[in-house]
Amino acid sequence: MPQKAKYPVVRKFTIDTDGTSDIYVDIGKNLSMINHRLYRQGRSYRVRVSLTAPTGSQIAAITTLPDTWWARRAYNKVRTIWMMRIGSMKEAGAAVGRWNDFKVGYDNSHHDNFGSTKDAEMVTDATGTQTAFSLGNGEWNLSELLDNDGNNNSFRMLGTTSGTEFGVIDSYSHVTNVFSPDPDETGTGSNAYSDLLLGEGGDDSDMDDQGDYPPYNEVDFPQHEVLQAQLTAVYGLGAAETAAGIQRLSSGYFDAPLGLLRITPGASMEMTIEVQEGDYKGVNAPAWE
């Protein structure tokens, strides 16, 4: 049986943190830039992150959005509404961009600085004389939806809804709240093992007041991040520090919902991000639904 031809794609790129402030990586955006084709954001990209050229003591934490049922449902709820609006535009004869794609921010900071200072700079090499990739006249913007008051709303996965800034998970919490009844009538219960089995005329235990609340916050879904790896380099230190240090230069592969990463670097550093080979335009990125 002939071997299936590989999809020609560049799956690896280098970023420069350019300091110690939190930065964000949008895998779909970077793959689109280097491969000259659209890689949609609404996928779960399987990636690994490595320190490219450690030059001293370096630490970097890599976090992702939670890959939970409510995070997926919250995202797909608002994405479905966006797609319905796009469909209505097409039916009305309006032109829709060829590369139109639903895009959200990771959290408040990423949302408010989308495509600017908080985005990690992708560079062409890791030799210390990097040349930054340029989007040129390309476009990678947050999606917007017009509400009934005529305001454009944009979206972020983490964070509360405020004004025209739509918190995706936060808003989903409000539409799924379910009241848990708390019975008023409860029994007194009994003591000693022999009295646990109720006899004739025995009182009810407190069992009618147990389990009437869920083992989690019934009002709001958690808006936590997932720490996928903490990379550490001790390259170039003295023998004593090296012997005492714990070094981890690569994260191993993990799933990044929507291809969004938040990186907290301990120093300016270069990092290599590689997307696993797969069936979505050459990379492993099933739909996040």
Q: Is residue 231 part of a domain?
A: yes
Q: Is residue 143 part of a domain?
A: no
- Domain with 61, as residue range(s), is 12-81+96-126+153-177+216-283
pTM of the predicted protein model: 0.81
Number of domains the chain is built from: 1
Position 195 scores a pLDDT of: 41
* Segments in the chain below pLDDT 70: 1-5, 54-57, 117, 125-131, 176-214, 216, 219, 234-246
Query: Is the dihedral angle over the CA atoms 240, 243, 245, 247 positive or is it negative?
Result: positive
Position 59 scores a pLDDT of: 82
Q: Is residue 258 part of a domain?
A: yes
Contact criterion met (CB below 8 Å) for 253 and 48: yes
Contacts of 258 (CB under 8 A, 6+ apart): 28, 41, 42, 43, 44, 65, 75, 104, 106, 157, 288
Q: Is residue 73 part of a domain?
A: yes
Q: Is residue 141 part of a domain?
A: no
CB atoms within 10 A of CB 45: 29
Structure tokens at 13: 């790129």
Q: Is residue 87 part of a domain?
A: no
Q: Is residue 260 part of a domain?
A: yes
Q: Is residue 262 part of a domain?
A: yes
Q: What is the CA radius of gyration of the chain?
A: 25
